[in-house]
Structure 1
């Protein structure tokens, strides 16, 4: 698909009558020679902040003396920041990346701007160009646009080409495959929890707050809900920020954040793209998928609409013997609608999204019937409906940049379980089904300011209001009786002041610090049987961070960062719970990292980290199948992770990422019985190797890739009566992508070796104590996807 240009900001003070004349005059002034002429190939260290094209060209001309011409009025587009460019050509390439425009050299000190032909914009970049720009990738996870190379943090950027799925439309499973530091409980799409860098706590689906905050653009999607697993359709990238993020994101970001950055409406060009795919799964049947993306400018470069719709009918592969085969078939449908308005220097974004996901049965097995079969029983269907609305306003105020973000996210997750072995405890008889219905709502309002023109001191400050609510009902029923087992409601109101700043001591050394002061009002109310429990409390706490970033040499950066994060406690309404009230847990983390690039063909990033985690909140499975939360003790997590990108040839890319860590309890809570002290679910080792080759074939651009993903051994729980081990295992994947500018063809294979290894030793909390449960990898799936852009 075509890379979309950033938002256009036309000058609001120009009158309608004189706009074209003034714009023409302005373009002549902006691109004329404003300094002494110098050769365009002269060496510089060019730094230009993001801004309008006119502003960026003036800054470039003042630093290098080059002139840039354009036929007609200068386009009203925003350009990307330039960091450390060594020539005017490199600076122009950085600032115009993704804008739909390019600069052509017309002399030693002059360039001409021209619009990139549509077909050329659809061509994939060469590996060398991609790697050369790696140090200048702009990320927004820290709530401001900044160069990846300049940030004292561990951030992973995953692009759409690396999120290919044989099913046609990928989700969190493809993200997990690409990033060794990310782990997921494999209960089923829409019911999983994500874990980053060894911070594993609640794989069984308790009610404590999630350890990873998930966002779409500026909207916060979750508080204590599972990962909604939004389809990764028409996205620009996924940014993963590792380690505690308390100062900028508040409670619930103790492990880090995952931010999905969608493609924004194009204010200039109308486009339509359609994709359709079909796949076959071994021991399953056919999958089919479709998606459609429409972009329509609405008012002469001042507003636009972008609409996305998609659906997937995904094959199942788990058989209930004597019952339905391939029962865990899944259906997914959803869409997004976004409007962008840029009438002046202000930008307004209004968007919404809906998604519905339903699985006919669960995806675990037990018994001795084979890797993909289990004894016949009730179907364990699951449904997840999610909606999102967001409203973002950004623009200048007194020389500062103001951003206001308002979002509302809702989820309803419904899961059914065969609970027949516990019928006596649940008040039923015979075949028994338990229904767990949970509804989550997150309202997020944030207003922040920053100084975009700052040279030595870059800062951001703001206020935040988060209101989250959870309503859960658990009931059991047999052929004639329905029994309400649990009713639970939680309401959280969190208000905060936050800020973060970076001071550049010189061109090579910068120090930074951040903090957040927040007040949370938490109200928990529950009913178990005939007993009611009510708890309300207000807490005032803070989080902080400090960092230093040193450009040790050209192409080499070294950083150190210390940070904290906090997660509130709560109550358990179940009488069997070990603790009726569980305490807040908090983390303090330090990390030391490096980013190194060598001659544009080798990039290496490494981070060593250590985290002290106090009062670890962990899931506790009770005798009646319900899940409570307890404090397991204090943990220490330390390790090293890294990524290497190498270009052995101009068309070949080798990427390797790894994680080595020790994540264990150090001190147990008195009375807790812990056998395996490793933190649950998260592996101690993980790695990803991927080799890609670019080529041309009969006028088509091609990209072939093969990859192997390894996840080390894990276990399920601190509870020795429940604990199950999962062995380390590897899976293989491959893809072949072809594009000629209008048509695209993709052939993708997942789990090429057809591994049936256990990915998660859990599936049903009401049966797991009777039989060991296993969640096998999805069998080999091969799919073909065809796309057309109009």
Structure 2
């Protein structure tokens, strides 16, 4: 529960949204003010606190309905009574999870699509390891490359086009609150500290998000300023990597109301050093260490009970000293490189959101601007002859991503309409340089995309037990590409109008779940390929459609919940980044693909403090029709493993005044392949990782310890790629991070 103090009517409405319970009363709602209610508690306890001091009480009429009425006077004083027990002694229904990635608050139990929600407290390692890779280990269907922090790409349900970081638009859109974070940039690996949850929407999300959402949405929901309470949290972390070094960090949160119940600010700051574990025999040990410095500043203003304004800024600087691949074999942690390969990822964002009530409708306006720079260096000696050089050389790539997005939408009980404008611009320059020479530009590319869109979604009752949901997005995109290479300058401008529809049918399973059938479609615009691309120098738009049959169910007491889904995807004119002979990256259409998959997850509160969580996914991904210049023996789509599985067993107990939790986790990653290219294809995956986690809390103090890669598993290969200029000359391996011990202590005020 987190219900701010304010008018009783608004507090009861928030209570209903969180719990899914209905509240009614005869006559008009009394003018009363409720106090703030925050923390983990039962619905009954929360309702008692909301009504405390108002002269009202709640009487339970059925399992999901309360009536508010005056408390009978005793000796002239009001008496506060707990809500009446449910009829027949039945247990209270468990509260639903509220999700917002569908652009309006919805109960997870009622959303007719495949979605995974991971609360901050449920992440592997809890707050001790707030990184994107922890979301991957706890979510079915989500995969990620392993080039290193700030250079990875995410993929959902096998919708994976390439491991190479070219300029093609991402298949997964990263979203923070109402702000779109990426268009064609890699995952910025924003530190997941002081967040509420991460929502993973699986399958094409074109109807609500437009282009770049072929695979789905990775939605980060941050904690907002508290208008009523001064609060702070500080945490110290240390880590030790076997075969590597020692790292650590500090994180802090400060929440400060400026005007009670009207204005507050919240500041999040963090600084960390992650130890490396790759040794460069020509330079030094543990070269792939990294440093992260960042923070968020949020301001919330509530000018009236019906309107809220949120303004914020986010910055993060991520610097990695060297890359994390090796050449000899997957059993070694050494590489012989004469040139360091650092990576610098600088992220800046400002955003604003205004939301309020217009009669029975909700209005929301959101705007955001992203300034994201990625700068990396690679040894390019093997490719020197392609650029008229001889001897050792280094390639440096500098990219500047800018993204402006604004959106306005209206929503009612079961409908949503909106308008949006997005402009994305990318400037990419690649240079090659020898030790004593000047930098030589080998490619300069400018790409911009503008999208104007109108979208909407509505749900309605078709039959007595079947609901229908129809959504669509009509948008017009204008893309402009300019390439300035050794072969000359070329330009291309494309206009495309796209209709992305979705339709779903759902049927409730008693009062704690549903079964659904959904179809959705998404499109990515085409563009201009590199001058070195054989054949046509343009690549066409690709389109993807998915049919998803799924169910979600939980027991009445909330102790057991399960979800499962089957999905079938057709992907035409697949855009795929690939390597030219000189090691640079271009884009082409690889052909037509098909994905068939299944996934399931279950969480069971066994009793005695034990909880079991498990999940698995299996998929078959195939390139069913290849373009003429692609001759393939292995037709699997790249990156995505064929099978994954996870299991977590935890035990909660007390040690005197301390609350303790221990858990063990195992993750299996199945076989995968690197790329479509026959001469570059490498196998990877097929390993199991184990972890242990323990935490103890007493009052405001929390202690956490975690061991990742418990048995120091080397694995076959976590990722079979590191340097595009030398991959043809030798095998490349990305070892798993060795056994790592992380300790943290946090204190709240």
Same fold (TM over 0.5): yes
Q: CA deviation at 1:76?
A: 7.3
Q: Whole-Å Cα distance in 2 between the matches of residues 379 and 61 of structure 1?
A: 64
1:589 is aligned, of 540, 546, 556, to 546
TM-score calculated relative to the size of structure 2? 0.90
Any residues of structure 2 matched to 1:427-438 within 5 Å, and which? 427-438=388-399
Partner residue in 1 for 2:739: 780
Partner residue in 2 for 1:329: 289
Partner residue in 1 for 2:321: 360
Q: Is the 8 A contact 2:241 2:739 kept in 1?
A: yes
Partner residue in 1 for 2:657: 699
In the superposition, relative to structure 1, how do residues 730 and 102 fare at CA in structure 2: closer, same or farther (>3 Å)? farther
Partner residue in 1 for 2:63: none
Q: CA deviation at 1:646?
A: 1.3
Per-residue CA distance 1:549-580 (angstroms, 9 max, x = gap):
10133434111111000011111133244541
Partner residue in 2 for 1:663: 621
2:490 is aligned, of 527, 533, 543, to 533
Q: Whole-Å Cα distance in 2 between the matches of residues 779 and 366 of structure 1?
A: 17
| Structure 2 residue 705 is the aligned partner of structure 1 residue 743 | no
Partner residue in 2 for 1:725: 683
**What SS does the corresponding residue of 2:267 show, helix, strand or coil?**
strand
In the superposition, relative to structure 1, how do residues 476 and 509 fare at CA in structure 2: closer, same or farther (>3 Å)? same
In the superposition, relative to structure 1, how do residues 49 and 613 fare at CA in structure 2: closer, same or farther (>3 Å)? farther
Structure 1: 5+ residue stretches without partners: 11-26, 31-47, 81-88, 114-130
Q: CA deviation at 1:367?
A: 2.0
Q: Whole-Å Cα distance in 2 between the matches of residues 444 and 79 of structure 1?
A: 33
**What SS does the corresponding residue of 1:136 show, helix, strand or coil?**
coil
In the superposition, relative to structure 1, how do residues 515 and 93 fare at CA in structure 2: closer, same or farther (>3 Å)? farther
| Structure 2 residue 426 is the aligned partner of structure 1 residue 470 | yes
Partner residue in 2 for 1:124: none
| Structure 2 residue 601 is the aligned partner of structure 1 residue 643 | yes
| Structure 2 residue 386 is the aligned partner of structure 1 residue 425 | yes
Q: CA deviation at 1:647?
A: 1.9
Q: Is the 8 A contact 1:391 1:406 kept in 2?
A: yes
| Structure 2 residue 357 is the aligned partner of structure 1 residue 396 | yes
Q: CA deviation at 1:185?
A: 0.8
Q: Is the 8 A contact 1:526 1:573 kept in 2?
A: yes
Q: Is the 8 A contact 2:253 2:269 kept in 1?
A: yes
| Structure 2 residue 713 is the aligned partner of structure 1 residue 755 | yes
Q: Name whichever of 315-324 and 248-257 sits farther off.
A: 315-324
Q: Whole-Å Cα distance in 2 between the matches of residues 183 and 740 of structure 1?
A: 36
Q: CA deviation at 1:674?
A: 2.0
In the superposition, relative to structure 1, how do residues 578 and 362 fare at CA in structure 2: closer, same or farther (>3 Å)? farther
Per-residue CA distance 1:631-658 (angstroms, 9 max, x = gap):
1111110111110111221411101111
1:178 is aligned, of 121, 124, 138, to 138
Q: CA deviation at 1:425?
A: 1.1
**What SS does the corresponding residue of 1:782 show, helix, strand or coil?**
strand
In the superposition, relative to structure 1, how do residues 723 and 490 fare at CA in structure 2: closer, same or farther (>3 Å)? same
Per-residue CA distance 1:403-444 (angstroms, 9 max, x = gap):
000001121111100111111112322110000111111111
Any residues of structure 2 matched to 1:375-524 within 5 Å, and which? 375-451=336-412, 454=413, 458-481=414-437, 482-505=439-462, 508-524=465-481
Q: Is the 8 A contact 2:3 2:11 kept in 1?
A: no
In the superposition, relative to structure 1, how do residues 706 and 740 fare at CA in structure 2: closer, same or farther (>3 Å)? same
Per-residue CA distance 1:285-338 (angstroms, 9 max, x = gap):
111110000000110111110000001101000001132110001000100000
Q: Whole-Å Cα distance in 1 between the matches of residues 264 and 455 of structure 2?
A: 33
Q: Whole-Å Cα distance in 1 between the matches of residues 370 and 632 of structure 2?
A: 37
Q: Is the 8 A contact 2:175 2:218 kept in 1?
A: yes
In the superposition, relative to structure 1, how do residues 603 and 374 fare at CA in structure 2: closer, same or farther (>3 Å)? same
Q: Whole-Å Cα distance in 1 between the matches of residues 428 and 405 of structure 2?
A: 21
Q: Whole-Å Cα distance in 2 between the matches of residues 182 and 98 of structure 1?
A: 40
Q: Whole-Å Cα distance in 1 between the matches of residues 475 and 49 of structure 2?
A: 39
1:208 is aligned, of 161, 165, 168, to 168
In the superposition, relative to structure 1, how do residues 368 and 709 fare at CA in structure 2: closer, same or farther (>3 Å)? closer
| Structure 2 residue 216 is the aligned partner of structure 1 residue 256 | yes
Q: Is the 8 A contact 2:248 2:274 kept in 1?
A: yes
Per-residue CA distance 1:586-606 (angstroms, 9 max, x = gap):
111111111122353321110
Q: Is the 8 A contact 1:53 1:78 kept in 2?
A: no
**What SS does the corresponding residue of 2:121 show, helix, strand or coil?**
helix
Q: Is the 8 A contact 1:52 1:76 kept in 2?
A: no
Q: Whole-Å Cα distance in 2 between the matches of residues 471 and 95 of structure 1?
A: 54
Q: Name whichever of 572-581 and 735-744 sits farther off.
A: 572-581
**What SS does the corresponding residue of 1:561 show, helix, strand or coil?**
strand
2:521 is aligned, of 551, 561, 564, to 564
Q: Whole-Å Cα distance in 2 between the matches of residues 629 and 101 of structure 1?
A: 66
Q: Name whichever of 570-579 and 339-348 sits farther off.
A: 570-579
1:274 is aligned, of 202, 214, 234, to 234
| Structure 2 residue 307 is the aligned partner of structure 1 residue 346 | yes
Q: Whole-Å Cα distance in 2 between the matches of residues 550 and 421 of structure 1?
A: 59
Q: CA deviation at 1:755?
A: 1.2
Q: CA deviation at 1:75?
A: 2.3
Per-residue CA distance 1:369-419 (angstroms, 9 max, x = gap):
952111232110000000111000001124311100000112111110011
Q: Whole-Å Cα distance in 2 between the matches of residues 433 and 626 of structure 1?
A: 13
Q: CA deviation at 1:727?
A: 3.6
In the superposition, relative to structure 1, how do residues 76 and 504 fare at CA in structure 2: closer, same or farther (>3 Å)? farther
**What SS does the corresponding residue of 1:683 show, helix, strand or coil?**
coil
Q: Whole-Å Cα distance in 1 between the matches of residues 68 and 181 of structure 2?
A: 47
Q: Is the 8 A contact 1:474 1:487 kept in 2?
A: yes
Partner residue in 2 for 1:247: 207
In the superposition, relative to structure 1, how do residues 556 and 353 fare at CA in structure 2: closer, same or farther (>3 Å)? closer
Q: Is the 8 A contact 2:5 2:33 kept in 1?
A: no
Q: CA deviation at 1:675?
A: 2.4
In the superposition, relative to structure 1, how do residues 735 and 715 fare at CA in structure 2: closer, same or farther (>3 Å)? same
1:218 is aligned, of 170, 173, 178, to 178
In the superposition, relative to structure 1, how do residues 292 and 615 fare at CA in structure 2: closer, same or farther (>3 Å)? same
Q: Is the 8 A contact 1:555 1:596 kept in 2?
A: yes
Q: Whole-Å Cα distance in 2 between the matches of residues 559 and 665 of structure 1?
A: 28
Structure 2: 5+ residue stretches without partners: 61-66, 72-90
Q: Whole-Å Cα distance in 1 between the matches of residues 289 and 251 of structure 2?
A: 19
Per-residue CA distance 1:317-368 (angstroms, 9 max, x = gap):
0001132110001000100000001121110000000000001100000025
- Equivalenced residue count is 719
Q: Whole-Å Cα distance in 1 between the matches of residues 180 and 92 of structure 2?
A: 32
In the superposition, relative to structure 1, how do residues 217 and 651 fare at CA in structure 2: closer, same or farther (>3 Å)? same
Partner residue in 1 for 2:24: 62
2:640 is aligned, of 638, 658, 682, to 682
| Structure 2 residue 13 is the aligned partner of structure 1 residue 51 | yes
| Structure 2 residue 68 is the aligned partner of structure 1 residue 137 | no
2:503 is aligned, of 515, 532, 546, to 546
Q: Whole-Å Cα distance in 2 between the matches of residues 771 and 636 of structure 1?
A: 31
Q: Whole-Å Cα distance in 1 between the matches of residues 658 and 29 of structure 2?
A: 33
Q: Is the 8 A contact 2:384 2:393 kept in 1?
A: yes
| Structure 2 residue 103 is the aligned partner of structure 1 residue 146 | no
Q: Is the 8 A contact 2:255 2:266 kept in 1?
A: yes
